[in-house]
Structures are given as structure tokens and as C-alpha cells.
Amino acid sequence: MTQEHIVEELQEMVAQKRPLKEVLTTFINALGDLLGARSSAVILLDKPRIEAVFFSLSGGDTLHLEETRFPATQGITGQALLQKKAVICNCPADDPHFYREIDKKSGLTTESILVVPFFFQEELIGALDLVNKPGGFTDDDLRRAESIARSAGELIGRSKELADEMKSSRFLEDSMRSTIDSLFKWRR
């Protein structure tokens, strides 16, 4: 699959109002395959808590990390988020920013990592983590991932915005229904 195909598939899924989780899982699978990463993840930023959250994962035995939170200022991912800049690290064990807790929780050993922050309407919303490419990541991988992340950030942001809007609408609808039910019970 090419970069263009990945973006087109994302556009189509968002237009179809597919669930955010499905959109991100499809996206991260395709991106990991395109760049040759053994595992990959979409990490969303929880700004109020200053945490990063593994939202969607692919490859390896990493699915149990889904919804795992870690300080958004920690690790190589944290550095990329703080600097709002992509990072390649082909020897993370030697990097002082490396956050070993994720390897402990996952049971995997991170040998190489490529982190690309992504934005929605110029606001940082998360990062793409690509892990363990045989031979390590290259500058060409970085450029390709950044290019895809630009398009994906807007699509993911719109999809997340839509999901939040739908939750809000459902919440209001449920609240109104509950209020109306209460009023009818009170009048009886």
C-alpha cells in the first residue's frame, strides 16, 4: 500500500463515519506495513492529565498495552511531543530519554523507534510510534511518516471531533429523555 492509498482509505473511513478506533487501527496497520515496523501505535495526548495514551496498536504482542497511560513528558515519545518534532532513535537503550516502563509492560525490547507527532488545526493531539524496523529507521522513513501524519492528523482530528460530538449529542439526548421521564413520573 502506498502513502496515497493510506490517506485515501482514511478519508473514506472518516466520510463513512466509521468508529475512531477502527479508523486508527486500519491506519496504524497500514503505516507499520508501509515502513516495515514490527509494531506501531497511535498515541493520543490527554492534555488535562499530561498523559499519553496508547489508543490503537498493531503488530507483535502489544494489544494488552491498549489504553495504557504514561507521563506525556517521559521517553522518546514524550520528547517528540514536548518538542513537537519527529524523532528517530535506532539505539533507544543508549538514549537518556528512553522510558523502560513500556518495554517492561509490553514484554518487548525496543531496538529502534520512529515517533511523529500529529496535529489537528495546528494543535498537538498525539503521536505515531513505529517500533523495531529491521536495520533501523531512516531519514526517508521519517519524511514518509511526517507526510502521512500531516494528512492523518487532520482526518483523525475530524474523526475524533465527530466522535466527541456524537457522544455529546447522545449525552444530551439521554439527559433530556431522563428529565422527561422524571417529569412524567412526578405528574402521575
Cell numbers at residue 113, please?
523507534
More confident residue, 188 or 91: 91
Angle between helices 139-187 and 20-35 (to 10 degrees): 170
Q: pTM of whole model > 0.95?
A: no
CATH value at residue 131: 3.30.450.40
| pLDDT per residue as tens digits for the range 2-17 | 878 887 887 888 788 7
Domain that holds residue 83: 3-187
Distance separating the N- and C-terminal Cα atoms of the chain: 63
The contacts of residue 100 (CB under 8 Å, 6+ apart) are none
| pLDDT per residue as tens digits for the range 18-59 | 887 788 888 888 889 999 999 999 898 888 888 898 888 887
> What is the number of structural domains in the chain?
1
| pLDDT per residue as tens digits for the range 154-184 | 777 776 665 565 455 444 444 445 444 444 4
pLDDT at residue 38, as a whole number: 92
